[in-house]
Structure 1
Amino acid sequence: MAGELLRVRAGIDIFAVHYAGNAPSNTAMMRGDVAFTFETMTTGLAAIRAGQFRALAVTRAARAAALPDVPTMAEAGVPDSVTDVFFAVIGPAGMPRAAVERSSAALQRGLRAPGVEERFRDTLGLEIAFTSPEETRRIIASEIDRWAEIVRISGARAD
């Protein structure tokens, strides 16, 4: 979908090659079977640092702390093409509010422990941001709406 967003926002004609995961996609990149790929920081950072891949841009709204010299897509000339990957901790529907608050507090304590944030950033390229359960629901709803628009505009479909 990041490729479809690039195609739509940049107005370029690219052909998407779909792989069953990052490993086959990365192998295709290293063999020269594809011109470029979209890769998450968690799986691409090591290859970038090892010189196997060259990061052209990050798809975040701001530059990544782990790759401060790599421009954002907007800085590279493709505005409105943010595809920031996020992780959310979720529980079952109807989870009691008290349990949600206890779980959230425990998670925040663990992630704020000395060295954890630096390790996430430096090893995985992840930047920790905490949101409330309500904000997380809003983000997920917004992402569903946003990507539905890209699917509609691009004509993308599941094959």
Structure 2
Amino acid sequence: MRGMKRLAAAIFLLSGCLATTLAAADNYPSRPIRLVHGFAAGGAADALSRIIADGLSKKLGQPIIVEAKPGAGGNIAADAIAKAAPDGYTIGLVTGAHAISAATYKSLAYQPAESFEMISTLVYYALVIAVRNDYPAKSLGDLITIAKEKPGALSFGSVGFGSTHHLAGELLNAAAGVEIVHVPYRGDSQSITALLGGEVPIIVGTPVLLAPQIQSGAIRGLAVTSPTRTALLPDVPTVQEAGIKGYDVRTWAGLLAPKGTPPAIMATLNAATLEVLRDPEIKQRLETAVGGEVRGSSPAEMKALIETEIVKWTGVVERAKLPKI
């Protein structure tokens, strides 16, 4: 009899918790939502976060407060998101670096795919391999020829170790059979300054930041890393056009939430995000911010993307024999 009473009490408590959860989901959102990202204010991730926050705020009827937690390639922010209450009031924006972290770090306090509920991808964008305008290489083919003649003598700058920019260069090394040494900088602006100042002859950078320098003639874009040319730099050929078949590096940005966020809330966030991405004004703002292509997804598609990218970049890191952090 006593056991039956305990069972009844447990069932009562469980049903009460379930009712509370369902009620919370039905009323969602009833207060401001925090959107966390892991990069410096004023950068691409920050710009994307503020644009999507603006759209979601109007759609959901609550303020979306953007919070930057920069450091460790986005890992500090990802850890904070993973440990937040799974109630839909903390969401995060992550980039391609989220999957790369699994390949470049010895250990993480969270699992990039399993510690989160995915909402949707937002945008994909290519990178640009560029040199100063007075550099001898007039094409990527020329650069590869020079690199083969001088193994280890050339260097390329990027926004930092373990970034998509860095691994795009390492993948080029492997695909073209060359050895161009990586030099990390703290952001695109520093790497562009280093290129213009002659510290490095090559950089891998973000199209939207390199486009003005390319259009002014100060920098020459040798190739974009996507399979097709980018609308922002239509005259810059792709790496594949230079004869390196199968080369494809596109970084991306997407939204996620802590593991265990109720399915009803996740469905609300996914539907609202996809609706925002269909808004012509928001779409144009997002694409202009990074020189990329807006593309939403289902939660399952975003999780599959992250899992695929982890495998891809782990292979690149292992082939390049890069030391893990």
TM-score, reference length from structure 2: 0.46
Conservation of the 8 A alpha-carbon contact between 1:117 and 1:128: yes
CA RMSD of aligned residues (A): 1.8
Q: Could you tell me how far apart the structure 2 residues matched to 1:49 and 1:120 are?
A: 21
Query: Alpha-carbon deviations, 1:55-100, whole Å to 9, x = none?
Result: 2111112221222222111112222321100001011111122211
Deviation at 1:158, TM superposition (A): 4.2
Show the 5 A alignment for 1:116-155.
116-155=282-321
- Further displaced range: 71-80 or 44-53: 44-53
Deviation at 1:146, TM superposition (A): 0.3
Give the counterpart letter for 1:102 in structure 2: T
Show the 5 A alignment for 1:6-155.
6-155=172-321
Distance 1:123 1:47, change over 3 A: farther
Query: Alpha-carbon deviations, 1:16-53, whole Å to 9, x = none?
Result: 11112222111101112111111123433343334433
Q: Which of the two has greater strand per residue?
A: 2
Q: Could you tell me how far apart the structure 2 residues matched to 1:155 and 1:123 are?
A: 34
Give the counterpart letter for 1:124 in structure 2: V
- Further displaced range: 81-90 or 53-62: 53-62
Q: Could you tell me how far apart the structure 2 residues matched to 1:122 and 1:48 are?
A: 16
TM-score, reference length from structure 1: 0.89
Conservation of the 8 A alpha-carbon contact between 1:74 and 1:80: yes
Q: Which runs of 5+ in 1 are unaligned?
A: none
Distance 1:121 1:59, change over 3 A: same
Deviation at 1:151, TM superposition (A): 0.8
Q: Which runs of 5+ in 2 are unaligned?
A: 1-166
Deviation at 1:115, TM superposition (A): 2.4
Do structure 1's residue 3 and structure 2's residue 164 form an aligned pair? no
Give the counterpart letter for 1:128 in structure 2: V
Q: Percent identity?
A: 35
